[in-house]
Structure formats: C-alpha cells, structure tokens
Amino acid sequence: MRNIKMTIEYDGYRYLGWQRLGDTDKTIQGKIEQLLTEMTGMPTEIIGSGRTDAGTHANGQVANFKTASAMELKEMHDRLIRYLPNDIIVKKLEEVPERFHSRYHAVGKTYHYYVWNHAIPSAFERNYSYQYPEPLDLDKMNEACRKLIGKHDFLGFSALKKSKKSTVRTIEDIAIHQEGNLLRFTFTGNGFLYKMVRIMMGTILEIGAGSAELEVIDTIFESKVRSNAGMTVPSQGLFLDEVYYG
C-alpha cells in the first residue's frame, strides 16, 4: 500500500469548507476524493492536516491518502491538474513512509488574514479580505499581537463549547504587514483551535479601533470565556499558508 502526500492550493469562495459532507459535493475533500476514486478504480479517502471553514482559502494545505494503485505519480498528478476544478490545484505529490499522517504529524502552521481597511470596498479584494472601515491604530494592534504570543490556554479565543483535550497552544509569532489599504496579519503557532485565528483577529481589530482595551486579552486568558473576546471575523480573509512537519 502506497502513502501519498499532497500539497494543495484552493480558493474556498465556492465551497462549504474542507470536510466532506454527505449531502453536497461542494467541499474540497469531496472533490479530490471523487476524482481519486475515479482515477484509481477504488474508494479513496484523503486525510487533511486540518479542516478549513466555508469560504476559507489555502496556499499550502497538506493531505495524504493510501492506495494500492500502481499509477505513476506524474500521471496521477497530471490527471489531478487536468480534471479538478480550476480553483483547486494539487501543487505537489510525493510518496511518503506508510506511517506518515498529515494531521497527527504536523508540528505547526502559518495562517494569513487579510483586512481591507477603507470605507470604500474593493472590487478585487472582496472575496479574499475582510473590509473593516474604521481607522486602525497599528501600534496598538502590534501591542495586542505581542500579548498573544507565547504559550497560553486559548479556550476563550475559540468557538469550542468544551474540550476533553488540552486547549493550550503556543503562538510563535504574529506579524502585521501593510500595503496601502491592505493589511496582512501572519499567525504562526504549533496548532490552532476551532476558529481561533478568526477570533484573535476580531479582538485585535477591536483593540486597533479603540472599542476594546489591551487588557481584555488578559481577561480572556484568565476567564477562558469566549464572550469576553472580540467578534469572529468572516472566513474569506483567511488563508492556510503552510503546514510544518518535524
């Protein structure tokens, strides 16, 4: 049995997220599995490094699947490029050891979130950024980012109702890059809880706009209560950029 690792780029605008759903074919996982099953002549399940929500994009999602097919990698890759929708691109295929697991073996991820900071929306950025019309204080947002970096219990920054597993994560870096009206926020850490990036992002924006104080971050860490954090920003500004393996 071969184990094949995929690096995937996709525009999530038309899709209901990564995870296969039984009542629709509008998922990234579902589209790829359907084509692989047709190509190999046998049911094929792919395992992603993590789920992305409806509307979320990826520059470097990673998945793996096992197959008994003898098809050469180049032919398989060529067919995936040719027959998948043009908003889902398999950038790379490689054979990996049988025990490799794209989710369990991931040791870190980087996400980008894009904000269009202007009162007038952008025709070109509307599906790939969140329009935030209020003026933002970049210094305050950088201070907020510094308070979020490190090892913390991020339960209050997640949409989890409860969790039997640890909600402690380590954020290694959060950086802000500005090009005109477009702000790119880069989050790198050893793992992220459900909607954690989008809730951290909402909190940072509220601090930058002056509707929340920096101290709210301490309150969220101490209370572990979601309602103390900021809004959950829309999914279209979020990109899974890279997944890291040890």
Domain boundaries, the chain: 2-96, 108-245
CATH fold label, 2-96: Alpha-Beta Plaits (3.30.70)
Gap between the Cα atoms of 56 and 61, Å rounded: 11
Give how far Cα 143 sits from Cα of 55, 138, 176, 219, Å. Answer: 29, 9, 11, 16
The pLDDT value recorded for residue 23 is 79
Task: Please answer whether residues 62 and 7 qualify as being in contact, where contact means their C-beta atoms are separated by less than 8 angstroms.
Answer: yes
Which candidate, 154, 168, 164, places its Cα nearest to that of 201?
154
Assess contact for 145 and 176: CB atoms under 8 A.
yes
Report the CATH number of the 108-245 domain.
Answer: 3.30.70.660
Query: What single DSSP character describes residue 120?
Result: S
Backbone φ/ψ region at 31: left (φ over 0), alpha (ψ -120 to 50), beta: alpha
Per-residue pLDDT of the chain (246 residues; tens, 9 = 90+): 999 999 999 999 999 999 999 878 899 999 999 999 999 999 999 999 999 999 999 999 999 999 999 999 999 999 999 999 999 999 999 999 999 999 999 999 999 999 999 999 999 999 999 999 999 999 999 999 999 999 999 999 999 987 789 999 999 999 999 999 999 999 999 999 999 999 999 999 999 999 999 999 999 999 999 999 999 999 999 999 999 998
pLDDT at residue 163 in the model: 77
The reported pLDDT for the residue numbered 162 is 77
**What confidence score (pLDDT) does residue 66 get?**
97
Helix H or strand E segment including 197:
helix 196-209
Please tell me the predicted confidence (pLDDT) of residue 161: 83
pTM for the whole thing? 0.95
Catalytic residues: 53
